[in-house]
Structure 1
Amino acid sequence: MHAGDQVDEGVPAELAAFLRNAFLRNGVDGCLVKIVPSVCGGCGGRVFSVLVDDVEGGAERVCAGCGSRAFIADSEEFWEDADPGEACCPCGSEEFETAVAFSLTGDGSVRWVTVGLRCQKDGAVGVYADWKIDYGPTDHLLTMV
């Protein structure tokens, strides 16, 4: 992890490390990263099924506990044109802990959104969607996980 990175409480350590390393693999080094867990606003649940559009980028999560739906970051703005599919672990499970990593510029603006999932069945972690943010201001995105 980068010295200035922020990982909020509730993000599994292996998922946080995987998300940070995803930025390094994609050549986005030197950026600060904020990693936030997804928590259902309805029931406080932390396990979700997730619809992702891995072509354009975007994700919507559905709480396994209460069925509440929420878009991640600015996904709703582009969802009408999206072609989402259900995220699925290679083991076949479709239930995940979800965390979102935000790559930040020097002034704190969000430049990349990366959705990481940790399978509830076998613990496998992966990046299921990511997309670039090319507008501002972006502060509101940090709470939309």
Structure 2
Amino acid sequence: MHADDQLGEGVPLELAVFLREAVDDRPVRIAPSVCEGCGGRVFFALVNASGAERECSACRTRAFIADSEEYWNEESWEDDEPGAAVCPCGSEEFEAAVAFTLGTDGSVRWVTVGLRCREDGFCGIYADWKIDYGPTDHLLAMV
């Protein structure tokens, strides 16, 4: 981990290490996805290159990650329509965490969505996109 990294409580260690290694050397804030409806931490996910939506496997509450909702429409998808995240083992249930790569001013510059398979522990980056506007503080709570 980078000296200035911030790791949220409840992020699976394997996923935190995987996310840290997947992003550049800038400081990151890694936060776990937690369902606001029931507190669940296992999700199904729809992803494309520039967005993600998760659905709690326990209560079926849905939520967008970061600013995905703003771009979650057919106009924005072009040739990149969202699809279900699937582990190489075939499972579709994941623990999720987001690495927010921070600029020198502390603003979010990249959003990287990592998923850890509940079946076999496989970790992968399922979505990753650049943030080119400000302010960005609101994104840090949208995990």
TM-score by length of 2: 0.95
Take 1:39 and 1:112, find their aligned partners in 2: how far apart are those partners? 20
Q: Which residue of 1 aligns with 2:61?
A: 68
Identity of aligned pairs, percent? 71
Take 1:39 and 1:14, find their aligned partners in 2: how far apart are those partners? 17
Report SS of the residue matched to 1:34. strand
Q: Which residue of 1 aligns with 2:98?
A: 100
Q: Which residue of 2 aligns with 1:85?
A: 83
Q: CA deviation at 1:62?
A: 0.2
Figure out how many residues of one structure are paired with residues of the other and give that number. Answer: 138
Instruction: Write the mapping of 1:1-145 to structure 2, written as runs, cut at 5 A.
Output: 1-23=1-23, 28-29=24-25, 31-54=26-49, 57-80=50-73, 81-82=76-77, 83-145=81-143
Q: Deviations over 1:35-67 (max 9, x none)?
A: 00000000000000000012xx10000000000
Q: CA deviation at 1:106?
A: 1.5
Unaligned runs of 5+ residues in structure 2 are none
Q: CA deviation at 1:107?
A: 1.3
Take 1:7 and 1:118, find their aligned partners in 2: how far apart are those partners? 16
Q: What is the root-mean-square deviation in Å for CA atoms of aligned residues?
A: 0.6
Take 1:49 and 1:6, find their aligned partners in 2: how far apart are those partners? 25
Take 1:7 and 1:96, find their aligned partners in 2: how far apart are those partners? 19
Report SS of the residue matched to 1:15. helix
Spell out structure 1 runs of 4+ moving beyond 4 A. Answer: none
Report SS of the residue matched to 2:72. helix
Unaligned runs of 5+ residues in structure 1 are none
Q: CA deviation at 1:7?
A: 0.5
